[in-house]
A and B are shown apart, each in its own frame.
Chain A
Amino acid sequence: MICGDDDQFGSLRLWLRDGVDVYISPDDVVHFVFLSTRKRLRLKVTPLLIECLEWLDGSASVMELDARYKAQASRLDSKHPSSFVDFIQYLYGKGILVRKDWMHNAFCPEQVERYSRQLNFFLDIEESEAAATALLKRIMNCRIALIGIGAVGSWILRELVQIGFQRFILVDPKTLKPADRTRNAIFDHLLIGEPKALVAERFVHSQALEPETRAIQSPLDIDTNVEELIGADTDLIINTADEPYIGATSIKLSRYCVEKGLPLLVAGGFDAHLASLSEIIVPGQTPCSDCYAMHFEETLRGWKPISHPIVDRRRGFGGLPSLSAFAASAAVLKIVRLLSENGGDVEQGRGEFLFDQYSIDSFKVERNPECPTCGDFERLQARAD
């Protein structure tokens, strides 16, 4: 009997999630393999329940399938103590089954059409419809201040818009130059001479479903008032500005972000580090830019520079658009992970992608409890509350 809340459950049309592989061994053990996490679940069930798994294509409701199951069971004339509904409920609870129409309940048809493959990806990572839905909603609502729309910033913008970010504050004081041909992801030779902030704004408006943007053609300088420049409504800041010097602007932004409790992503920038995998600063969780600065001062004390195995990393490293794309992709992945529930811990440290053999060099840096900027973060937050 299905009763109470189960009525609702009985009417669901369930679908075996695409991101789960199902294997059946000869002794009637079903192996569910979660492709994203490689997690495995093994269940010993009856042959009839195994047969039922193939019915779960979303075409019939749980109640209808239960009736089909009971009919089959009585035809087999065997005692079937196992309940079909219990089995299905268990699989639904484990995120192995999802509702056929789960995307349509949360998003309009155009959004479903554009983001269905991505929502499937989120479902595999988050392992529940609600969490996958919430992740895309967070993406669509997040207001990002992107500082610098150049070799890495423009690629980041392009990917962010693709995956559904639509609220931006776009900061760049420069205009599009002919040489941007080799580095800017939104380059168009017809737009040479136009302010990059406006080119970027137009790009967002032509692609996003519900765009909301501000274009700012002033630079972020050492003495700029950050809040006056970008406004007070930002949820996340991305710094890719390499002038006057990314270290300086990042420390400035990091201090601002610690004060406001905002996450900051520092990507690209250093001429010799364009394939840097970017670092994300989450106040109270990760080191801030001052922590990093102190760490390097400490570890580099007494060290003399030695030559790097790569022949020479001066200005050339990262000059390739494909390295910009790599760095930008790594940065955008960090943002998606930051906003997701199951995306793993926020990384503490830095990484670098080495072109020679496509290897990643990374190392950990811990928060410095003595840090004058974020060492006091908890007390700072308590005072703010």
Chain B
Amino acid sequence: MHGASVSLVSHLMEVLHERCAVEPRAVRDAVDATEHYRVLNFLGDYFPAAELFAAFERLRSTRVAILGCGAVGSWTAVQLAHSGLENFIVIDGDQVEESNLNRSIFLHEDIGQPKVKAISSALHRISQRVRVRRVNENVCDADGLRALLSEARPDVIVNCADEPSVDLTSEWINEYCQDRRVPYVIAGGYNLHLSLIGMTVSPGVSACINCSRITLDELEDESLQGVRRLWRPKRNLGSLSPLTGITSSLAASEVLRLAVKSDRLRPAMWNRRGEFNFLTNELSFVDLPPRPECGCTAEDVRDRVSNNSQ
């Protein structure tokens, strides 16, 4: 630094600080003093020191609703509690059964308990500060879900419910969320050796579930068009815990990105869906852009684009 002027050095420090490469000693010490230093350190890669604790506070206080507390839902919930989130709304009408233990966080002693109660115990083992609102019922239509969510007022919703079907529950959530401008994450699930990684939707910003369906329909496998599918009732598709782990880890990561509410760390699953392949260990993605014909965000996106260009 021979010959460097003071202003040059201070400018350099400012740039490094903005790029999160250096942080004041006081912040460093404050981070080290908290139990959540690992998460703060992680966020420190995206947020400059002055914004770090505020970002963590936003994360901590986010109210997340988890619809469906099966394998993916239960895994997602515990990862969020380990990350420091403290406000949960868990929705599921089922009870824990022996057959759930091979892929969810439920324990042997939870068998026979409502899943929402078992999840609540799991979250309280992680932190006593956690508050869990338990909704021990199966949501069976859009109105029921709207009533429930209007009352609970979550900041983020994660859809892990596959009854009656993921498509249907996603549609109900989308209806509520587009209306209230609440972001949601479709956690996905698994389809044999594939872990599906769902999309993240921020109404007015990214493609919604209906936009994605328009694109997916266009991508349908043409080689099987015109053929009849054999009717198969009571199909029991396989599943494996680590595939649940992968799906839920990405769902939890997406919730964190939504929870910090900042352009510095935005969702990575806007406008796309992914698949993790057990056999090849590969992740692949399909782009699912906003579709103007959907009529949801399209207008807002268009408005914003035209505002920006003015």
Give the B-binding residues of A (Cβ under 8 A). Answer: 16, 18-19, 21-26, 31, 33, 35-37, 53-54, 57, 110, 113-125, 151, 155, 158-159, 162-164, 178-179, 181-183, 185, 187-190, 206-207, 277, 310-313, 315-323, 325-326, 328-330, 332-334, 336-337, 343-344, 347, 351, 355-360, 362
Contact = CB atoms under 8 A, between A and B. Distances in A.
Contacts, number: 242
Pick from A123, A333, A355 the residue with the most CB of B within 10 Å: A333
Contacts of A182: 35-39, 82-84
A351 B256 contact: no
B230 A183 contact: no
Interface string B227-241: 111111111111111
9 contacts: A116-B99, A117-B239, A118-B241, A319-B41, A321-B252, A325-B248, A325-B249, A336-B242, A355-B253
B82 A321 contact: yes
B281 A329 contact: no
A312 B20 contact: yes
A326 B245 contact: yes
Contacts of A19: 192, 237-238
A112 to B, nearest CB: 9
Given A117-B99, A190-B125, A360 B282 contact: yes
A316 B44 contact: yes
B126 interface: yes
B4 interface: no
B98 interface: yes
Pick from A16, A115, A358 the residue with the most CB of B within 10 Å: A358
A319 B38 contact: yes
Given A26-B226, A178-B35, A329 B268 contact: no
Given A21-B230, A124-B192, A183-B82, 7 more contacts: A19-B192, A36-B192, A54-B231, A113-B98, A190-B125, A316-B44, A323-B253
B75 interface: yes
Nearest to B285: A358
Contacts of A336: 240, 242
B210 interface: no
Nearest to B264: A311
A315 B38 CA distance: 8
Given A23-B224, A182-B38, A329 B249 contact: yes
Contacts of A23: 224, 227-230
A158 to B, nearest CB: 8
Contacts of B248: 322, 325
A332 B192 contact: no
Interface of B: 19-21, 35-46, 75, 78-79, 82-84, 97-99, 101-105, 107-109, 125-128, 191-193, 197, 224, 226-246, 248-250, 252-253, 256, 268-269, 274, 278-283, 285
Contacts of A124: 192-193, 238
A309 B279 CA distance: 29
Contacts of A57: 233-234
A342 B104 CA distance: 25
B82 A187 contact: yes
B238 A18 contact: yes
B278 A325 contact: no
B45 A344 contact: no
A22 B82 contact: no
A196 to B, nearest CB: 15
Contact of B38 (A114, A163, A183): A183
B45 A310 contact: yes
A33 B229 CA distance: 11
Nearest to A359: B283
A158 B106 CA distance: 11
B223 to A, nearest CB: 9
Contacts of B252: 321-322, 325
Given A164-B102, A206-B109, A22 B229 contact: yes
Contacts of B101: 114, 162, 207
B268 A351 contact: no
A122 B238 contact: yes
B256 A320 contact: yes
Contacts of B84: 182
Nearest to A184: B82
Contacts of B285: 358
Contacts of A117: 99, 102-103, 236-239
Given A125-B278, A311-B19, A206 B108 contact: yes
Given A36-B193, A182-B83, A358-B274, A319 B237 contact: no
B245 A321 contact: no
A178 B253 CA distance: 23
Nearest to B124: A189
Given A118-B102, A181-B82, A351-B281, A332 B256 contact: no
A359 to B, nearest CB: 7
A115 B43 CA distance: 39
Contact of B268 (A54, A120, A358): A358
Nearest to B84: A182
A18 B83 contact: no
A4 B98 CA distance: 41
Contacts of B42: 316-320
A53 B228 CA distance: 13
